Structure 1
Amino acid sequence: MGILLCLPLALLLLGAVSALHLENTVPALQSPEVELGWGLGGAQEQEAMLTAGDKAKALGRQDEDGEEAAESDAAALDKDLPCPGEEDTIPIQQDPGCQTCRYLLVQTPERFSRAQNICKRCYGGNLVSIHNYSANSRILLLASKINQAQVWIGGILKGWFLWKKFRWTDCSSWDFGYWALGQPQNGKGRCVALCTKGGHWRRARCCRRLPFVCS
């Protein structure tokens, strides 16, 4: 009889211990905070898997997109600004090989977008496009006399990824280049400047303020 009474008591104790163990473990599995923490950890692991190159490319794209947006905003604000005075401009001698080619050097430094806007609004043209060595040398001859290292010409990098190409703002064909050593591959910026020493071209950030040549 004593054995029969002890058996139910042992079963009750075993059940109580099992219930206590289950109570301590189940909430941890069902806790929303734990599930949310796991989700955040997975996202952090994915972020950590991004290579430095991927991040650099993403930052580069953001930088170019921001630069292009800033140019558009600047051009919209420049519509009512006055044109440069005659004292700020120098006409470049006409190219004998091109009777319709007329160049004007504007000495006042401007951003690329505003320089293009001034060329179009004030002189009915565009930033200069250069299609041969003779024209490049003629522009260099005068640009080298001002106290600036570079001047804007009308080249700009357009497009996305593999479709990126340098284009002229006057939409003429890109059939000539006079790049400095390592350019344009190692350059930064989407806009093209002509160096006043040597006449070679370099990429430059469009937000820089430089003198410029209109045609």
Structure 2
Amino acid sequence: MASRPVRRADAQRNYDRLLAAAETVLDADGAGASLDDIAKAAGVGNATLYRHFPTRGKLIEAIYDQRIRLLCEAAENRVTARDPGKALIDWLREVVVHLTESRVLAEAFMAAQPGPPGVEPPQIAAWHKAVDNAAAPLLAAAQADGAIRPGLDATDLMALTTAVARAGSPEQADAFLDLLLEGITPRQGN
């Protein structure tokens, strides 16, 4: 994840407003949403938008980076929970929501990236690694508590969770996650 530069207070407010407006506009209008509409929704001029985000790709990357950062912080905040199994499961539900709500954003990010089609940009690999690293302590705590079967590593868990979130419709994701959780949770008496 990219490090956050230090900004003046007014510049940080504009940056935050642009990110919030961009999420809303992109979610409503899709990957081709107008950058002018985003600036207008944020209450800033086009020059302010382009000063912070010189390209559509940089804007989308910043939004996604923020979402990943918040997801990783949520995992970190749960590591010392009294019920490690519940902490992991609650976080996995948050991951599924993130993935189902970020479909348009992820597609827009990929479309805005230069390079050969079908090849993941390095930033996506960095985000995957950050999420895997965030999941590892939660998973280890849940396994140590006996809430999750041993032998599963964070990378495999996140791959399964991602597959669950992307299979079928977003409405089905929660039911699919329940099936996954049933498979990784030890049964009583085993």
TM-score range, shorter chain: under 0.3
Higher helix share: 2
Higher strand share: 1
Q: TM-score, normalization: structure 2? A: 0.24
Q: TM-score, normalization: structure 1? A: 0.22
